[in-house]
Amino acid sequence: MSEKNADGACCASVMEHPIEATSSNSEARYRIAAMDCMAEESDIRRALEAVPGIGSLRFDLSRRTLTIAAPQAVLPQAVEAIRRVGYEAVPIDAGGRGGHSKSATDPGHDHSDGHDHEHQHTEETGTRLTRLVAALLFGIGAEMLSFLTVSSTLSSIAGMALAVIAIALAGFDTYKKGLAALRHGRLNINALMTVAVTGAFLIGQWPEAAMVMALYAIAELIEARAVDRARNAVKSLMALAPEDAEVRQPDGRWLRRPVDDVAVGSLIRLRPGERVPLDGAISAGNSAVDQAPVTGESMSVDKGPGDEVYSGTINQTAALEIRTTALASDSTLARIIHAVEQAQGSRAPTQRFVDRFAAIYTPAVFLLAVAVAVSTPWLMGWTWTLALYKALVLLVIACPCALVISTPVSVVSGLASAARRGILIKGGVHLEAARTLKVLALDKTGTITEGRPQLVAFESIDPDADDGRLRRLKQLASSLAARSDHPVSKAIARGLDEAAHEVSDFAAVAGRGVSGRIDGEDYVLANHRWVEERGQCSPAIESRLRVHEEAGRSVSLLVATSGVLALCAVADRIKPSSKAAIAELSGLGVRSVMLTGDNGATARTIAAEAGIVEVHGDLLPEDKLAVIADLQSRFGATGMVGDGINDAPALAKADIGFAMGGAGTHTAMEAADIVVMNDELPRLAETIRLSRRTHAVLWQNIGLAIVIKAVFLLLAIFGNATMWMAVFADMGASLLVVFNGLRLLRMPSERGTASVSGSPHIAMSGVS
């Protein structure tokens, strides 16, 4: 899918910057104490882009950590590049010294470490808030001395002292990072604020300098905490899986063990109401399982022996014993977390546009500020003090914070909102692109249909067969079918569910059916071809077969030496939600096309039932590829919906590949751009609606930020804008775009997808 993955402000987020991954890379984590904003993240990323051999970068701004994937020989160069731009990168060793031992993005994370960090993070936030409140009080004191005290040397010195204390308390980190940025010729927000506040202080506006720095720091803290909501919407997934499991020991005892220590194949016990700690298959017990945390399904699913369960889902009604099938680090939930967090590093097209715009905008306004300071005393007769003051106001307005933050918070919120619905979107580029889809090509089996053949009809050839005779025929067919591993035979055995007779001399004939001896008589369960080869077909039987075959059913015939006794019709039934889902897509202006390797008659029958007009049957994988290319040429942006394995070429060719049935399927996770965890087609329409809403919010935020900047830019030059107003405009705009982006987290699901359980209806009759 590489041809579709485009590469890739003050906020807290987890960002990954893919560069060029290689199999020889190892991961090293560093704590960078001065990195708590996207301005610093951008500085470090640009510095590291010049270091050859780096595979990927993963930033966790809330924890102030950076994970670098690179060969060991490259890591010292990376650390040196970070140091040259003014930051210290302290290695985090396995024991957690220097930071924390495992990243939240590591699926096998250490829970206790995460809790320790959250506790420390809370303490740091509390300390910083106390310091900022004190700075605000000192700033207010400086203002009061300026306005209420008769001008004197003593009061001026006292006011300046209060202002210096306020600036030191609120702006120490800003000054430290701003001076480092200026030394390296970078015009980030810290550099702009450092110059603006220092300049205001030097021209005698020290009360305003103090208040501006205090208000800026407080607004920055509020903004960072607000953006944390989007990050936490993803990281809250980690709380879904328990930290320990009740594991059966070799001596038969049940003991609690950390999930990281539970091996594949272990037997774990689950009480009603508990969350499933690890992926596995039920070995004993029957219960309803709430899969909403993983698949987004609105109704519980009945599970019994042999059924799969996924970590993070909830056992509801009865005790279960589960045989684990994956380690904690490779569970479905862990892979969801990993996929979503990786997706945050994919820079969406709008985000790349904003980055390019900000890279031009900030230097342009900085040059405008210099021009105002130098030229307006000559051109407009302003005093030098007034000219310098207006130039400093322009510096604050030049901060691109609101503009730069407008896109990532919206993208992360959109990705998190999708994940809550059981839709994994592997990058902002795909989140944005989904709105452009004109046509969706859907594989039939497992996508539109349930993907599991079911018995839909059982008929006696003798129209006068009574109930006793009909029951005998079912038992004979069930006895033969139960001995076979063929999907059609399994469907017949499941559907009839009759007490089996002993079968001797059993044999399976490839491409024909099965045979055996029951109660001393020979029987076969044969397909149409074998019955013809045996010379036991007739026009009447042909007529009955034609009815079922035209309906897209596979037919097996129960045959004795005397002739054909009964008919079993098996079909892959359409999912209950498929027809409504196709109608939803049509309502959104998206055309649905069916692609399948099945014969044309079966394909047309299923398509008609689902409401799909265009059908392509008898397709090999390379044929599907050709159809996708044709759809792209005819309609434009085309999506492919399949299982992520057999449809891999078509998924890769399509503009967006959707994999159905992602729960527990590694290949589907890796092959597709978007994974629908619960197999239900209505999620496709939800994805498109979410994409359209995210795109709208992105441009609302960009427009809002640009308009506010433009208004205050004009006020600063021609009106009476103050530094206070500039700070309120900048940080107010930042908070507005943050909270507007966070609205995507509260986007309601426009339809609930209910799980439909129960046995299929089977037509049993003795007449045609």
Catalytically active residues are 443
472 CA to centre of own chain:
53
> How many whole angstroms separate alpha carbon 90 and alpha carbon 406?
31
The C-alpha atoms of residue 664 and residue 326 are separated, in whole angstroms, by: 9
What are residue 4's phi and psi, to 5 degrees? -105, -10
Please state at what angle helix 206-235 crosses helix 332-343, rounded to 10 degrees.
140
CA distances from residue 19 to 25, 83, 420 in whole angstroms, order as listed? 12, 20, 29
**Other C-beta atoms within 10 Å of 706: how many?**
16
Q: How far apart are CA 677 and CA 293, in angstroms?
A: 10
Place of tokens 């960078």: 32
In total, the chain counts a number of residues equal to 768
Cα-Cα-Cα-Cα torsion 568, 574, 576, 577, nearest 10 degrees, comes to 170
DSSP sequence for 51-115: STT--EEEEETTTTEEEEEE-GGGHHHHHHHHHHTT---EE--TT-TTS-SS-TTSTT--HHHHH
Kindly compute the dihedral angle of the four CA atoms of residues 668, 672, 678, 684, in this order, to the nearest 10 degrees. Answer: -160
Of 584, 617, 614, residue with least CA distance to 601: 617
Residue 171 half-sphere exposure toward CB, CA atoms < 13 A:
30
Q: Which two tokens stand for residue 430?
A: 């795909």
Strand stretches in 263-337, DSSP E: 267-270, 280-284, 287-290, 301-303, 308-309, 314-315, 320-324
Cα 441 from Cα 434, distance rounded (Å): 14
